[in-house]
C-alpha cells in the first residue's frame, strides 16, 4: 500500500516543481504516518515538521521523538500568545468571553495552527500537508480551515485502522502508530468525544455493517451535518 502512496506523492511534487513539504506534527498517528510517507517519498531534508503546542503540551516529547526519528528539519512555534490575543480581540468586539463557547475554544487553535503552517510555507515556497484521514472526514471530526485545510491530502482515502496499517508497513515504532487519538485540548480521547470507537466507525464505512442502531443514527447524522467541510464551496451561478 505504501508504495502507491509514495509514488503519488512524488508525482504531485514533481508536477509542482519539487517544492518542500510542510506538515504539522501533533505526535498523533496521522501526522506521524503523513510525515513518514513524505520523508520516504521526497527525502527527509525536503520535509519540514512544525510542532505547535498551545502553552504546555503534555505529549510534545512524542512529537520531538518523531521528527528526530525521521531526521527531518523542524521548528517549534508555541501558539498560546496569538490564541490568547485573538480571544481578547474577539471578546472585546462581541462583549463576551469567546472561550466559553465550545465551537470557538476548540476550533480557533486549529485555525491558528494552519495560519502558522501557511506562514512557514510562504517563507519556504512549500506545500502544506493535510493530515486528516477518511474516518475523521466522514463524521466531520476536523476544523474547517484548520486541520481540514491543506494543499494535498495523503491519508484522506484511508480509515484510521488503515492508517495504522500503513504506519506499521513503514516500520514506524509503536509509540507513533498505536498512540491513543486525542485533540490535545479537551483532556478526552477522540473516541470518548465521538461516543463510538474508530473500529466501529471504520467497519461501518467500509462494509455498512453496524450492530448498534443508535450509533448508526449518530454517525449518519454527523456525516450529513458535516458534508459542508468536504464539498466545494457553493456559490451563486455555480450550480
Structural domain that includes position 128: 2-229
Confirm whether 47 is domain-assigned: yes
Please say whether the dihedral angle defined by the alpha carbons of residues 156, 135, 150 and 71, taken in this order, is positive or negative.
negative
Confirm whether 237 is domain-assigned: no
Q: How many domains does the chain have?
A: 1
Contacts of 88 (CB under 8 A, 6+ apart): none
Question: How many CB atoms within 10 Å of residue 14?
Answer: 10
Confirm whether 234 is domain-assigned: no
Confirm whether 238 is domain-assigned: no
CATH number at residue 24: 3.40.50.620
Q: What is residue 180's predicted lDDT score, i.e. its pLDDT?
A: 80
Confirm whether 126 is domain-assigned: yes
Q: What is residue 183's predicted lDDT score, i.e. its pLDDT?
A: 67
Print pLDDT tens along the chain (239 aa). Answer: 899 999 999 999 999 999 999 999 999 999 999 999 999 999 999 999 999 999 999 889 999 999 999 999 999 999 999 999 999 999 999 999 999 999 999 999 999 999 999 999 999 999 999 999 999 999 999 999 999 999 999 999 999 999 999 999 999 999 999 888 776 666 678 888 899 999 999 999 999 999 999 999 999 999 999 999 999 999 999 76
Confirm whether 199 is domain-assigned: yes
Confirm whether 13 is domain-assigned: yes
Confirm whether 139 is domain-assigned: yes
**How far from 31 is each of 54, 153, 157, 172, 197, CA to CA, in Å?**
17, 11, 15, 12, 20
Q: In DSSP terms, which residues pair with 51 in a beta bridge?
A: 76
Model-wide pTM > 0.85? yes
Amino acid at each position: 500500500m505504501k508504495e502507491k502512496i509514495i509514488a503519488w506523492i512524488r508525482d504531485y511534487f514533481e508536477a509542482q516543481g519539487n517544492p518542500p513539504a510542510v506538515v504539522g506534527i501533533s505526535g498523533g498517528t496521522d501526522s506521524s504516518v503523513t510525515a513518514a510517507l513524505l520523508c520516504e517519498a521526497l527525502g527527509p531534508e525536503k520535509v519540514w515538521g512544525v510542532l505547535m503546542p498551545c502553552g504546555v503540551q503534555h505529549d510534545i516529547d512524542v512529537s520531538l521523538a518523531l521528527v528526530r526519528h525521521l531526521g527531518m528539519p523542524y521548528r517549534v512555534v508555541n501558539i498560546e500568545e496569538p490564541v490568547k490575543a485573538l480571544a481578547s480581540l474577539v471578546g472585546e468586539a462581541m462583549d463576551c468571553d469567546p472561550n466559553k463557547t465550545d465551537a470557538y475554544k476548540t476550533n480557533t487553535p486549529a485555525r491558528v495552527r494552519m495560519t502558522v503552517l501557511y506562514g512557514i510555507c510562504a517563507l519556504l515556497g512549500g506545500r502544506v500537508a493535510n493530515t486528516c484521514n477518511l474516518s475523521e472526514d466522514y463524521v466531520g471530526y476536523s476544523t474547517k480551515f484548520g486541520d481540514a485545510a491543506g494543499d494535498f491530502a495523503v491519508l484522506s482515502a484511508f480509515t484510521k485502522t488503515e492508517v495504522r496499517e500503513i504506519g506499521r508497513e513503514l516500520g514506524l515504532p509503536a509509540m507513533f502508530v498505536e498512540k491513543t487519538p486525542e485533540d490535545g485540548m479537551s483532556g478526552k480521547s477522540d473516541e470518548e468525544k465521538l461516543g463510538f470507537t474508530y473500529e466501529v466507525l471504520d467497519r461501518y464505512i467500509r462494509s455498512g455493517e453496524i450492530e448498534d442502531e443508535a450509533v448508526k443514527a449518530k454517525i449518519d447524522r454527523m456525516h450529513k451535518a458535516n458534508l459542508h467541510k468536504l464539498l466545494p464551496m457553493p456559490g451563486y451561478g455555480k450550480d
